[in-house]
Structure formats: structure tokens, C-alpha cells
């Protein structure tokens, strides 16, 4: 019994096999969502359904194009009901640890209209599963107790009930259970760090930002740390000089134990590691790598660790690379490099010279100048284009392949 209140306990999927996995209780979060194969009307119906949820519990939803935590899709070969008939929807956590999918069955005609009726009911039911709710009754072999008494397992109390009427809204018990998980409705927020102590051979974080702490005197052998999504950091009481990375992926940290044997810290989706002497960004393809490359591209120098840490922090906090590029372009240091009011041609040439360190090829130069002249791209776009070009990424591999050192802001 999680709370002793059957209205809540009968709805909590514990262990929380959902986006609430390993998340501290009662804290408001933001969940990104996207669609695969939904019409404009279906997108708009789900969006308004989610907006209603946000008025009731501490979950805010933000639609994104890529990398969403919660994806809405259609699939007809989902799990069947206990009587063998096709299910109308299902929810599953993705095996790669990047979030959840709410599936609707396109062969069930009502699943096309998500504005109201049974389609909306199922869409909300699967959303609630993703948020951490379970069925309040034993509807199949997958269900587990505690259960609500039949007279309470009705649609007016919970969207998770199969029986007792239909509804298109969260019931009062759903709201209690979701508020237990996420707190009451509040302003949009990003979840603060979840603190997780690494004290087992295998430790998983939440789908949000985690700070893992590892005291190597507490462990006797290798450990695996799985960050799932979010910006996840491991803090370990080792100096970086006492460790080395094995392999190319910056995901196997090896150190020598007191008895002279070696042990490993195996990292899965952990973006940063904080040793006693320095902090490294391991996300060469993520924010740390992008910030490093943009800084280097804009100012034609190795980033200082404090400045780099500041801009990594901005990206982690939700700023886009383009927004930061716009600030870089107008800075005094950038003006010194590219000139005060360069023509589009001069600016593009300067990008070749200072970012790629070479003379432009005529075709490439003409293309970039045309992009600027036609206002297809801004100079910030061009700076990002050069800094994230595969040519620049490859050129900087030597500087980033052992991790990107920065001073956290």
C-alpha cells in the first residue's frame, strides 16, 4: 500500500512502470509529446485533451517535433483484450529507454475521432497509463492489485475502469492518484534534479534530469548506471587521473580499486561525469558537443571552461543553438573576427576561414551567400550550419573525443 487510500493505491502502477519511474513524488514536471501518423484534427484533439489534464495535475505538456517523451501512434497489432477481441489502445515504454508510446488501434473505427466519445476515452486512458496509472480491476492476467470494489470502479471515478460507464475526462480518483505522483496543477516547469545514490550493480534514473552519486568505497565491483532521458550526471569520488575511458564511446570508465584489481563504471545515457578534479561532458552529439563547437566556431579559439559551462547550462535549460548563435554573432569578440558590418560574401568567407580554417570552394561559398542574400538563412543559421557541419565535427573530434571539460555554471 503506497498511501493506505484505496482510491489512490488501486490506480498506482507500482513499481511505477511508466514515465514516473524513479521520479520523486509530488513534483510538477513537463512532458514533451509528439505524433506519428495523426491528422491535424487528431493532433488538435489530443492537445486539447492534454491541456485539460494540465489544469488538474502537476504535469505540463509541450509538443515537439523530435525526441518527445510521449509519442502518440497508431498500430493495429497491439495486445488483445482478455476475451480475445482486439484492444482499442495500449501503452508501452520504449525498450531503448527514450520514453513511452500511446498506441491507438486504427482498425477500431471510433479511434479516428479523438475529440469526443470512445476515441477520446481511450486516448486519455492510455495517456494516464503513460503517466503512471493502472487498472483498478483485474481485467487481464497483466493486472495486479490492490483493486477498487466494483461499485467504485466506475467511469465517474476513474478513466482507468473498463466497466461502469463511459467518460472523456479524468475522474476524481485519477486526479488524486496523479496529484500523489506529480502534485497539483501549477505553472510550466522543468523537473529539477533527481538525486540517486548508486549503490547496486545496476542503477536506473528517471526520464528527467538525474544526479547520480557514486561513492566507490561503497561498492565492491563494477556498476552500471542508466540515465534514461534527460540530462544526467554522475558524481564520483575519483580523480579523473585515476580513471580511463575504455572504448570510443565515453561510456566505460575504468579505475583501479584499493586491492589493485580494475573495476568499471558503465554508463548508459549519462551525459556528464563529475570527477573530484574536473567535470566532463560526454554528450559529444548533445548539448556539450554543440556548445563546444559553436563557441569554437564563433570565436575561433578553444572555449574557456567557464564560458563553455555557462552556455552548456543555457542549452540544458532549454535555449536553442540558434538563440545562442545570435548572441555570439553580435558580441564584440565576433565583430572583431568577422568585421563590424560585413557583406554577406565577407561573412561567408569569414566562416570558411575561421570555422573550417580553409579557403572556400566556389560552389559552397556561392550557395551560402545565396542563402543569406535570399533571406533563406540568417547569419545565426549560417554559423550553426558551419559549426554543426560534418566537416567541422570531424575536424574537432581530436578535441572532444576524450570528453569535453567545462566548469558547471
**Residue 202 vs 397, nearer CB to Ca ion:** 202
Q: Which stretch binds Ca ion (CB under 5 A): 19-27, 136-144, 227-235, 326-334?
A: 227-235
**Residue 42 vs 194, nearer CB to Ca ion:** 194
Distance of CA 44 to the CA centre of its chain: 23
- Measure the CA–CA gap between 247 and 251, rounded to whole angstroms: 8
CA distances from 203 to 219, 271, 345 (A): 12, 15, 53
Q: To the nearest whole angstrom, how small is the minimum distance from the Cβ of residue 222 to Ca ion?
A: 21
Instruction: State the Cα torsion 291-294-300-302 to the nearest 10°.
Output: 10
Q: Which member of 87, 171, 205, 303 binds Ca ion (CB under 5 A)? A: 205
Q: To the nearest whole angstrom, how small is the minimum distance from the Cβ of residue 67 to Ca ion?
A: 13
Q: Which stretch binds Ca ion (CB under 5 A): 1-9, 198-206, 304-312, 378-386?
A: 198-206
Q: To the nearest whole angstrom, how small is the minimum distance from the Cβ of residue 161 to Ca ion?
A: 32
Q: Give the residue closest to Ca ion by C-beta.
A: 230
**Residue 18 vs 338, nearer CB to Ca ion:** 18
- Measure the CA–CA gap between 179 and 84, rounded to whole angstroms: 34
State the burial class of residue 389 (Cβ atoms within 10 Å of its Cβ: 0-12, 13-18, 19+).
middle
User: Does residue 403 bind Ca ion (CB under 5 A)?
Assistant: no
**Residue 46 vs 270, nearer CB to Ca ion:** 270
Of 352-391, binders to Ca ion (CB under 5 A) are: none
Q: Which stretch binds Ca ion (CB under 5 A): 36-44, 139-147, 221-229, 354-362?
A: 221-229
**Residue 282 vs 324, nearer CB to Ca ion:** 282
- Measure the CA–CA gap between 53 and 71, rounded to whole angstroms: 16
**Residue 99 vs 164, nearer CB to Ca ion:** 99
**Residue 167 vs 229, nearer CB to Ca ion:** 229
Please give the helix or strand (H or E) that residue 59 lies within, else none. Answer: strand 59-63
Is omega for the bond preceding 15 within 30 degrees of 0, making it cis? Answer: yes
Cell of 83: 476475451
Q: Which member of 155, 228, 270, 315 binds Ca ion (CB under 5 A)? A: 228
CA distances from 387 to 116, 328, 380 (A): 47, 12, 11
Q: To the nearest whole angstrom, how small is the minimum distance from the Cβ of residue 206 to Ca ion?
A: 5
Q: Which residue matches cell numbers 579523473?
A: 240
How many C-beta neighbours within 10 Å does residue 334 have? 21
**Buried/exposed code over 249-279 (b: 16+ C-beta within 10 A; e: otherwise):** ebbebbbeeeeeeebbbbbebbbbbbbeeeb
**Residue 210 vs 405, nearer CB to Ca ion:** 210
Please give the helix or strand (H or E) that residue 128 lies within, else none. Answer: helix 117-131
Q: Which residue matches cell numbers 534514461?
A: 228
User: Does residue 232 bind Ca ion (CB under 5 A)?
Assistant: yes
Distance of CA 277 to the CA centre of its chain: 28
Q: To the nearest whole angstrom, how small is the minimum distance from the Cβ of residue 286 to Ca ion?
A: 13
User: Does residue 405 bind Ca ion (CB under 5 A)?
Assistant: no
**Residue 185 vs 193, nearer CB to Ca ion:** 193
Residues 6+ apart with CB under 8 A from 326: 378, 380
Q: Which stretch binds Ca ion (CB under 5 A): 222-230, 256-264, 344-352, 371-379?
A: 222-230
Cell of 140: 487481464
**Residue 27 vs 169, nearer CB to Ca ion:** 27
Of 314-333, binders to Ca ion (CB under 5 A) are: none
Of 123-142, binders to Ca ion (CB under 5 A) are: none
DSSP E strands, 164-218 = 194-197, 202-204, 210-214
Q: Which member of 227, 281, 289, 309 binds Ca ion (CB under 5 A)? A: 227
User: Does residue 289 bind Ca ion (CB under 5 A)?
Assistant: no
Site size toward Ca ion, by CB under 5 A: 6
User: Does residue 210 bind Ca ion (CB under 5 A)?
Assistant: yes
Q: Which member of 230, 281, 289, 403 binds Ca ion (CB under 5 A)? A: 230
Q: Which residues bind Ca ion (CB under 5 A)?
A: 205, 210, 227-228, 230, 232
Amino acid at each position: 500500500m503506497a498511501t493506505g487510500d484505496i482510491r489512490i493505491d488501486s490506480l498506482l502502477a507500482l513499481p511505477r512502470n511508466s514515465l514516473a519511474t524513479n521520479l520523486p513524488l509530488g513534483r510538477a514536471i513537463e512532458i514533451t509529446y509528439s505524433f506519428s501518423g495523426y491528422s491535424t484534427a487528431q493532433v488538435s484533439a489530443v492537445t486539447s485533451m492534454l491541456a485539460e489534464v494540465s489544469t488538474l495535475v502537476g504535469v505540463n505538456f509541450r509538443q515537439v517535433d523530435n525526441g518527445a517523451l510521449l509519442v502518440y501512434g497508431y498500430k493495429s497489432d497491439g495486445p488483445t483484450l482478455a476475451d480475445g477481441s482486439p484492444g482499442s489502445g495500449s501503452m508501452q515504454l520504449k525498450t531503448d529507454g527514450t520514453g513511452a508510446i500511446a498506441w491507438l488501434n486504427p482498425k477500431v473505427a471510433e479511434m479516428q475521432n479523438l475529440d469526443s466519445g470512445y476515441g477520446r476515452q481511450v486516448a486519455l486512458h492510455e495517456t494516464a497509463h503513460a503517466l503512471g496509472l493502472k487498472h483498478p480491476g483485474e481485467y487481464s492476467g497483466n493486472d495486479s492489485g490492490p483493486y477498487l470494489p466494483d461499485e467504485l470502479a466506475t467511469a465517474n471515478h476513474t478513466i482507468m475502469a473498463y466497466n461502469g460507464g463511459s467518460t472523456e475526462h479524468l475522474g476524481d480518483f485519477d486526479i488524486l492518484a496523479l496529484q500523489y505522483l506529480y502534485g497539483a496543477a501549477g505553472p510550466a516547469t522543468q523537473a529539477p534534479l533527481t538525486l540517486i545514490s548508486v549503490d547496486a550493480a545496476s542503477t536506473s534514473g528517471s526520464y528527467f534530469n538525474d544526479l547520480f552519486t557514486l561513492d566507490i568505497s561503497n561498492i565492491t565491483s563494477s556498476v552500471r548506471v542508466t540515465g534514461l532521458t534527460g540530462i544526467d550526471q554522475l558524481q564520483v569520488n575519483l580523480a579523473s587521473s585515476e580513471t580511463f575511458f575504455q572504448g570510443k564511446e565515453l561510456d566505460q570508465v575504468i579505475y583501479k580499486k584499493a586491492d589493485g584489481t580494475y573495476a568499471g563504471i558503465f554508463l548508459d545515457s549519462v551525459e556528464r561525469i563529475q570527477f573530484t578534479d574536473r567535470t566532463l561532458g560526454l554528450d559529444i552529439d548533445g548539448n556539450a558537443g554543440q556548445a563546444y563547437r559553436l563557441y569554437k566556431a564563433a570565436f575561433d579559439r578553444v572555449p574557456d571552461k567557464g564560458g563553455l559551462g555557462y552556455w552548456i547550462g543555457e542549452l540544458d535549460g532549454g535555449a536553442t543553438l540558434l538563440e545562442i548563435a545570435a548572441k555570439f554573432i553580435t558580441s564584440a569578440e565576433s565583430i572583431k573576427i568577422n568585421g563590424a558590418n560585413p557583406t554577406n560574401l565577407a561573412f561567408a568567407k569569414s566562416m570558411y576561414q575561421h570555422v573550417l580554417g580553409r579557403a572556400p570552394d566556389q560552389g559552397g561559398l556561392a550557395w551560402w551567400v545565396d542563402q543569406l542574400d535570399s533571406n533563406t538563412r540568417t547569419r545565426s543559421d549560417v554559423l550553426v550550419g558551419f559549426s554543426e557541419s560534418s566537416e567541422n565535427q570531424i575536424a574537432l573530434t581530436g578535441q572532444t573525443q576524450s570528453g569535453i571539460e567545462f566548469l558547471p555554471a
